[in-house]
Amino acid sequence: TLGVARTVVGHDNPGLPAPWVDTIARHLLPAETKSAVLTLYRSTRGADLEALVPRLRADDHDTLVVFGDADAYIPAEQAHRQLQPFPRAQVHVLPGVGHWCWLEQTDRVAAHVVPFLRERVGTSISSKTAR
């Protein structure tokens, strides 16, 4: 039920504003959502993910990882694991922030995302105008 979903999401994410708790809880209820999530988790094999690491690493993607250390669903150490496939990744772990960090602490997340994007957009625009 919606009440149970709200309780679980709110409990697991105490810093999440009530309107977002409600929105997320509503998104979790449809059977199609549950089925899609279970299908994804059941079809994702560790060996398949490990096989992607060398391929992603070779492409040397420019990456930003912003993660909450109070995530009830995914351990914060996962943020640092992103350095395996993305060696140039900038990793920022926000103390006391949960799973939906961009909803919970919008300004703190934006403080990392906006400069990251500005650097890349500025570089892209500068190289196009220099041609």
Q: What integer pLDDT is reported at residue 44 of this predicted model?
A: 85
Q: What integer pLDDT is reported at residue 41 of this predicted model?
A: 87
* Integer Cα distance of 93 and 42 in angstroms: 28
Phi/psi-derived region of residue 93, left when phi > 0, alpha when psi is between -120 and 50, beta in every other case: beta
Q: What integer pLDDT is reported at residue 79 of this predicted model?
A: 96
* Integer Cα distance of 71 and 95 in angstroms: 10
Query: What is the pTM (predicted TM-score) of this model?
Result: 0.80
Q: What integer pLDDT is reported at residue 131 of this predicted model?
A: 57
Q: What integer pLDDT is reported at residue 127 of this predicted model?
A: 56
Q: What integer pLDDT is reported at residue 94 of this predicted model?
A: 97
Q: What integer pLDDT is reported at residue 126 of this predicted model?
A: 54
Which segments in the chain show pLDDT lower than 70?
123-131
Quick one: which of 1, 73, 7 has its CA closest to 30?
Answer: 1
Cβ–Cβ under 8 Å, residues 57 and 84: yes
Could you tell me which residues are beta bridge partners of residue 94?
Answer: 68
